[in-house]
Amino acid sequence: MENLIKVGMADLQTSGHPCVLTTLGLGSCVGIALYDSNKKIIGLAHIMLPSSLQARNNSNIAKFADTGIVKMLNDMLKLGARKENIVAKLAGGAQMFAFSDSSDMMRIGARNVISSKEKLQELNIPIITEDTGGNYGRTIELFSEDGRLLIKTIGHGIKYI
């Protein structure tokens, strides 16, 4: 049986091999998966908001793309990962409701994705693949064995990226 660890909303987890990190029902939140293929060290964050700088209460660093990614990277380095080996995969950032009249609430998914990409770029972590946007939820599982990311949806298929 694989070692399965759940990552909650506004939460992040890191682990060495063997392990599967999973987060359930990503909507407008973004799942950021980091992987060091040499050391088989993985990290998964379930962020809710793009930036800690715009928030009044930013004590929960796993809630924001900017602070969450930095924390996850540091945790992985502590486990022995090497920064130059780490790659990223992104999933989520959907727009669950079509709404036309309400402003930034409805664009939050896209903004979460943009902010995650900016932070990863700033840290020189390449994004090798992503499954973002759309109007549907995703459950994801990240495998330490080879860094594959399983994406499950309702009505939009199941795939690995």
Partner 1 sequence: MLLGMEVDMTINIEDLNNLHIDVLREIGNIGAGSAATALAKMLNKKVNMDVPKVKVMEFKEVSETLGGAEILVIGILLGVNGELNGNIMFILEYNAAQVLVNMLLGKPLDELNDFNELELSALKEIGNILAGSYLSAMSSLTNLNIMPSVPDIAIDMAGAILSVPAIEFGKIGDTVLYIETEFLDGNTRVVGDFFLIPDVESYEILLKALGVIS
136 binding partner 1? (CB under 8 A)? yes
If residue 15 lies in a helix (H) or strand (E), which one and from where to where?
Answer: strand 11-15
Q: What are phi and psi of 160, to 5 degrees?
A: -105, 140
Which of 4, 145 has the CB closer to partner 1? 4
Residue 61 has a CB neighbour count (10 Å cut-off) of 18
Mapped onto helix, strand or coil, the DSSP state of residue 156 is coil
123 binding partner 1? (CB under 8 A)? no
Judge whether 29 counts as a catalytic residue. yes
Which of 11, 87 has the CB closer to partner 1? 11
Please pick, from the candidates 63, 89, 117, 119, the single residue that binds partner 1 as defined by CB under 8 A: 63
Q: What are the Cα distances from residue 84, in Å, to 35, 74, 148?
A: 11, 13, 19
16 binding partner 1? (CB under 8 A)? no
Please pick, from the candidates 1, 84, 101, 157, the single residue that binds partner 1 as defined by CB under 8 A: 101
Taken as a whole, the chain contains a residue count of 161
Half-sphere exposure of residue 119: CA atoms within 13 angstroms, side-chain side: 25
96 binding partner 1? (CB under 8 A)? yes
Restricted to residues 17-36, the positions that interact with partner 1 (CB under 8 A) are 24-29
Q: Which residues contact 137 (CB under 8 A, 6 or more apart)?
A: 25, 26, 27, 94, 96, 153, 154
135 binding partner 1? (CB under 8 A)? yes
Which of 36, 130 has the CB closer to partner 1? 130
Which of 10, 123 has the CB closer to partner 1? 10
Contact 129, 87 (CB under 8 A): no
Residues identified as active-site: 29
Q: Which residues bind partner 1 (CB under 8 A)?
A: 8-11, 24-29, 48-49, 55-57, 59-60, 63, 94, 96-99, 101-102, 105, 108, 135-139, 152, 154
